[in-house]
Amino acid sequence: GAGVSQTPSNKVTEKGKYVELRCDPISGHTALYWYRQSLGQGPEFLIYFQGTGAADDSGLPNDRFFAVRPEGSVSTLKIQRTERGDSAVYLCASSSAGLAGAGANVLTFGAGSRLTVL
Amino acid sequence: GEDVEQSLFLSVREGDSSVINCTYTDSSSTYLYWYKQEPGAGLQLLTYIFSNMDMKQDQRLTVLLNKKDKHLSLRIADTQTGDSAIYFCAVGNSGNTPLVFGKGTRLSVIA
């Protein structure tokens, strides 16, 4: 697609529920990133994929968070047993940078999915 | 790990220059970026600089890098009301390793 698409744009859920957030990256971008942005904060890295595999998941806060990218394109971020502290905007970005490529890593971001846990 | 710091707020009059500052801790960072975020929107890349450069100019934007002090700045000439947004500094390395972002500087432009 022309840009990075994220759905839903807004999600309100109750504490303890399961949530899935979807990201459709730019066609052909092999690297895909999930960031979380809390109110008044900068984007905080969660996980990134090179192709289908998670190259670095060190930013996932705990085992309630999981992400997949089974075909190397669309990715889903899954949050189990949501807590109020999970409320944030979840940002997805993609880039064409290779694993050990030279040059800048230019990330193109989607508009984000705003998650509110009541 | 890498730590990126920015002042939180900046207010300028329309037509004046804005200077947004950023410091970082990892001297091995090879690329440094400036992103802009308008309300309700995702982050938009404005410009970036490679660590072997001191300055990069792109129309109204000038990026200055002091690698010794690990200090990066973004100057916006002739600031307009449409420049009101949050500006994020980010640093990273070659390849597809993730960028580390600062908390952002909210720029308010007064007409």
pLDDT in tens, A83-106: 999 999 999 999 987 666 667 888
Cα(A34)–Cα(B104) distance, rounded to whole angstroms? Answer: 18
Asked if A99's CB is within 8 angstroms of B94's CB, the reply is: no
Nearest to B99 among A30, A103, A107 (CB): A107
- pLDDT at site A100: 62
pLDDT in tens, B13-26: 999 999 999 999 98
Residue in B with minimal Cα distance to A43: B101
Q: Give how far Cα B37 sits from Cα of A108, A113, B41, B46, B105, Å.
A: 12, 15, 6, 10, 10
Nearest to B42 among A56, A102, A110 (CB): A110
Chain A nearest CA to B79, separation (Å): 23
Least confident interval from A5-14, A20-29, A65-74, B36-45? B36-45
Asked if B96's CB is within 8 angstroms of A102's CB, the reply is: no
Asked if A104's CB is within 8 angstroms of B48's CB, the reply is: yes
Chain B residues touching residue A110 (CB < 8 angstroms): 42
Residue in A with minimal Cα distance to B42: A111
- pLDDT at site A91: 97
Cα–Cα–Cα angle for B10, B33, B97, nearest 5°?
A: 135
* Mean pLDDT calculated for residue range B99-104: 95
- pLDDT at site A34: 98
Chain B residues touching residue A50 (CB < 8 angstroms): 96
Cα(B89)–Cα(A6) distance, rounded to whole angstroms? Answer: 23
Coil, strand or helix at B82: helix
Coil, strand or helix at A115: strand
Looking at the predicted structure, is the pLDDT value of residue A68 above 70?
Answer: yes
- pLDDT at site B42: 86
